[in-house]
Amino acid sequence: MDLNQWVDELFEVFDEDKDGVISRTEFVELIDVLLQDKGIRMCETIFNRFDKNHSNSISKDELKDMVIELAL
């Protein structure tokens, strides 16, 4: 599976309200799954780091940057 396909699948699962962005609540769930026992406390720092436009949501491009940096 390539990166774009993986990001699309993550969006499909975690963008629960299908508004095209990952909200803070959806992000916490995403990070909990990706990081497992490392804990939710890291979410705030990670969210702020990748919410580059400070929209209080994560776009696909921002999620792609996060996946590249944290998961690959």
Q: What is the pLDDT of residues 50-65, one digit of tens each?
A: 999 999 999 999 999 9
Query: For residue 31, how many other CB atoms are within 10 A of its CB?
Result: 22
- Does 14 score more than 90 pLDDT? yes
How far apart are the C-alpha atoms of 29 and 14, rounded to whole Å?
7
How far apart are the C-alpha atoms of 21 and 35, rounded to whole Å?
20
Q: What is the pLDDT of residues 16-47, one digit of tens each?
A: 999 999 998 898 888 888 877 666 667 788 88
